[in-house]
Structure formats: C-alpha cells, structure tokens
Amino acid sequence: MKLPIFMDNHSTTPMDPRVLEAMLPYFVEKFGNSASRNHAFGWEAEEAVENARKQIARTIHADSKEIVFTSGATESDNLAIKGVVEMYHEKGDHIITSSTEHRAVLDTCKALESKRGVKVTYLPVDKAGMVKPEDVRNAITDKTILITIMMANNEIGTINPIKDIGKIAKEKGILFHCDATQGVGKIPVDVQDMGIDLMSFSAHKLYGPKGVGALYVRKKAPRVRIAAQMDGGGHERGMRSGTLPVPLIVGFGKAVELCEQEMPTESKRLSAMRDRLQTAITSKLEEVYLNGHSTQRLPNNLNLSFAYVEGESLLMGLKEIALSSGSACTSATLEPSYVLRALGVGSDLAHSSIRFGLGRFNTDEEVDYTAKRIIEVVTKLREMSPLYEMAKEGIDLKSVQWAAH
Ligand SMILES: *Cc1c(COP(=O)(O)O)cnc(C)c1O
C-alpha cells in the first residue's frame, strides 16, 4: 500500500490508464481540427469526436446529436440555466432549484437574480437531503420556465427522486435540467425514463480528463432551445462555439464507456468497501452520525460526523489520507457546509463532518488503514476535549453557563 491514500473521489478522480492510452494518439499524431471539413486530418479528428459522442449518448439513452461538449459541468450548468433564461424570457422569469445544489448551479441562479431580476425558489430538503417532488409541484407558477435539481449530491451522496420530478415537469410543460455530475458513470442514468430535458456532467468525475464535460440538450418532445453563451464559429450546433479539444473528448468517451461496462461490478465493490469502512469505524467509536440517506445514496459516498471533534483538526491529524471536511475555509471564518445545514445538522456536527469518497482505485487495504487511523485520531482528539469529558461524566452541555470572553 502506498501513501498518501486518495479517498476524495467526489472532488475529482484519477484518470484511468486505459483512458490515457485512448487519448495519446490525438495529441501529436492525429492532431487535426474536427471542424476542418476538407482534409484527412480534420476527418480523422471528426470521426474520433463523433465516436465519443456516440459512446456518451448511448450510456445516457440519448441521441448523439443531443450532446454538446463543454469545458466541464460548471460550464454546462451555466449554459443550461442562462441559456434557458435568455431563450424563454418571454414565457416567464421563474426558476425552481434546491438549497443543496452545487455552487455551479446556486451561483448561476444568484447571478441571474441580481443581474437579470430572475426569481428563484430554493426548495428545502428533508433530513436525508432529498428534494420532495410535491414541493417542486407546489412551487410551480405560471411564470416558471425551468426546474433545476441535481441527481446526486456531491457532499452527502443522496440521490434525488429524479424520475418523479421529471414527471411533474412534463405534466406542467416546464423544462427540467439536472446536474448529474455525481450520477453519470456511478448509477444508471436514462434521460428518457427520467424525463430530463437538459443534463450536465463532467469527465474528471468519472476517471476521465479534466477540462471537458457535456450538456445533454433534448432534441424532441420537446425540442429544447438554449441561447449560446459563447459566440464564435458555431460549433456544437451553434450552442457552444470553440475548437473541440479532441484528445479530451476521446478520453471522455472512453471513460464513460468503461464506467458503463464496469458499473454492475464496480458499484457492488464500492458499496461493499463503503459499508466495510462505516462498520469498522462505528463498531469502535461512539457518537458517529451518518449524514445523508442511508440507502438512496451513491455507492461510493460516506459522510460521517464525529461528535466533539473538529473535522479540520481530524484532517490535520490524517495528512496521509486525502479526505474532505464539511467546513469550508471562506476568507477568515470557517463556515460549516451549507449542504449539511440544509439537512438541519447543527453547526457543531456540521463542523465535525468528514466526506469519504471511494473510487475505482481504492483497495480494502486502504479502507482498513483509513478506518484504523480515523479511530486513532478521533480517540486522541476526544481525550483532549473538555466537552467530551463533561459529556462522558453525564453533564448536560446545554445546561452549562459558558463564561463570556
Ligand atoms: C464537480 C461538480 C461540478 C463541477 O464540475 P466541473 O467539471 O469541475 O466544472 C458541478 N456539479 C457537481 C454536482 C459536481 O460534483
């Protein structure tokens, strides 16, 4: 086993060597511009791009003409949301989203509120982090032009009832965008069955290269139109101009294909490792709480709060393992995760949370090592904690009068 261990696969994934192998010829040898229509170099590049487009479309049950390549999911989210707002402004100015979306969706909505006067409803989620379809239905007005709800959350792994939301959107004739960046490649995704009109995803979250992503744009029933956010040569059927990064797209296609082929075995292996990690930790430590849904969860996600322990201090003591804490250092203050706060997790437990993101290249040996080290460091930090000491002695911490500084 080699240190450090990478167990932060929701932030990015290592590229699969088979993906690199597929990409290599397209850097030097087959360097053509896929938009060059009148020579062999262009044709060769175009063929490679179209092949990748087919691989990706097939996996999500779309047509290859419905795939628009972008630089990643952030761009896809921006293009979908801003593109719909601009194209359908005469129909209405209201968007429905949820409070636990990725920043790429939330910040896009906030920018549209402040710069364009768009109205946005941020739906709450339940204790497990799920959006209730009935809340979506109740939020719809005659001005609603877009519903944007993520497939699976990047912090807690909770999977939303996308099919039910898609049904409501169809029934009401409203476009449905889904940020499926954590879903594609990890769980089965079918844009037809799920009633999705626009969908964002990204190669580097599924063992492909960084810097490429896609937006699925439905072509019929209904034919979705979006205003381009990038003007130029009219690539990608006018929706996203710019010379295509052929090697990255080839890698994206290969990565998606591998995920599809290996999903049945890989998701079983990952959820077994995840359960092994959770059991090892909770059998040795008390007051460990699971954040997110216990079953409707990504197979590779485990998000735990360790009471009386600061997540950041825990990570400081675990430098040889790459994990993520539920506190984000924003300027001078340590803000607890807005996702955990939206589930109703208190500020203390939100600050105590750790996200484990397992991936294709993690092993049982790494899982066992991680569990052992977590147990050691949490035990040590709790031994140094006066709050833990008091709680162990049976003192109700809520009854304590703290001296003001
Ligand atoms: C990582 C992520 C994004 C951003 O993707 P990039 O390709 O890095 O821009 C958006 N949404 C979710 C849910 C993500 O996990």
Q: Which residue has a Cα nearest atom 15 of ligand 1?
A: 154
Give a yes or no: residue 209 inside a domain: yes
Atom number, ligand 1, closest to the C-alpha of residue 154: 15
Give a yes or no: residue 233 inside a domain: yes
| CB 102 near ligand 1, within 6 Å | yes
Condensed to tens digits (0 to 9), the pLDDT of residues 164-181 reads: 999 999 999 999 999 999
Condensed to tens digits (0 to 9), the pLDDT of residues 11-55 reads: 999 999 999 999 999 999 999 999 999 999 999 999 999 999 999
Residues 244 and 304 in one domain: no
Domain with residue 386: its CATH number is 3.90.1150.10
Residue-range definition of the domain harbouring residue 283: 5-10+263-397
| CB 152 near ligand 1, within 6 Å | no
Residues 236 and 311 in one domain: no
| CB 154 near ligand 1, within 6 Å | yes
Listed residues 258, 283, 314: the one ending a domain: 258
pLDDT at 275 over 60: yes
Give a yes or no: residue 403 inside a domain: no
Give the predicted TM-score (pTM) of the model.
0.96
Catalytic sites, residue numbers: 329
Amino acid present at 127: K
Model confidence at 216, in pLDDT bands (50, 70, 90)?
very high
Tell me the residue length of the chain.
405
Give a yes or no: residue 402 inside a domain: no
SS (H, E, C) 4-15: CEECECCCCCCC
Residues 147 and 253 in one domain: yes
C-alpha 202 to ligand 1 mean position (Å) = 7
| CB 73 near ligand 1, within 6 Å | yes
- pLDDT value at residue 326: 80
Condensed to tens digits (0 to 9), the pLDDT of residues 303-335 reads: 999 999 999 999 999 999 999 998 765 545 678
| CB 100 near ligand 1, within 6 Å | no
Identify the bridge partners of residue 303 per DSSP, sorted by sequence position.
355
pLDDT at 364 over 90: yes
Give a yes or no: residue 405 inside a domain: no
Atom number, ligand 1, closest to the C-alpha of residue 205: 1
Distance from the first to the final alpha carbon of the chain: 47
| CB 194 near ligand 1, within 6 Å | no
Residues 223 and 98 in one domain: yes
How many structural domains compose the chain?
2
| CB 104 near ligand 1, within 6 Å | yes
Residue 23: partners with Cβ closer than 8 Å, 6 or more residues away: 209, 247, 248, 250, 251, 254
Listed residues 231, 258, 285: the one ending a domain: 258
Give a yes or no: residue 243 inside a domain: yes
Condensed to tens digits (0 to 9), the pLDDT of residues 182-191 reads: 999 999 999 9
Residues 198 and 278 in one domain: no
Give a yes or no: residue 351 inside a domain: yes
Reduced to 3 states (helix: H, G, I; strand: E, B; else coil), residue 138 is helix
Condensed to tens digits (0 to 9), the pLDDT of residues 75-110 reads: 999 999 999 999 999 999 999 999 999 999 999 999
Residues 212 and 187 in one domain: yes
Identify the bridge partners of residue 69 per DSSP, sorted by sequence position.
214
Angle at 126 between CA 345 and CA 399, to 5 degrees: 30
Mean of pLDDT values over 189-218: 98
Listed residues 258, 286, 310: the one ending a domain: 258
Contact 160, 130 (CB under 8 A): yes
Q: Which of 245, 201, 227, 242 is nearest to 72 (CA)?
A: 201
| CB 205 near ligand 1, within 6 Å | yes
Give a yes or no: residue 104 inside a domain: yes
Condensed to tens digits (0 to 9), the pLDDT of residues 112-164 reads: 999 999 999 999 999 999 999 999 999 999 999 999 999 999 999 999 999 99
Residues 234 and 278 in one domain: no
- pLDDT value at residue 40: 98
Condensed to tens digits (0 to 9), the pLDDT of residues 284-301 reads: 999 999 999 999 999 999
| CB 78 near ligand 1, within 6 Å | no
Q: Which residue has a Cα nearest atom 14 of ligand 1?
A: 181
Residues 253 and 353 in one domain: no
C-alpha 69 to ligand 1 mean position (Å) = 15
Domain with residue 26: its CATH number is 3.40.640.10
Most ligand 1 atoms within 8 A of CB, residue of 71, 75, 100, 154 to mutate? 154
Mean of pLDDT values over 377-384: 97
- Distance, CA of 74 to CA of 77 (rounded, Å): 5
Most ligand 1 atoms within 8 A of CB, residue of 181, 198, 303 to mutate? 181
Atom number, ligand 1, closest to the C-alpha of residue 12: 1
Atom number, ligand 1, closest to the C-alpha of residue 76: 9
- pLDDT value at residue 153: 98
Atom number, ligand 1, closest to the C-alpha of residue 77: 10
Model confidence at 400, in pLDDT bands (50, 70, 90)?
confident
- pLDDT value at residue 396: 82
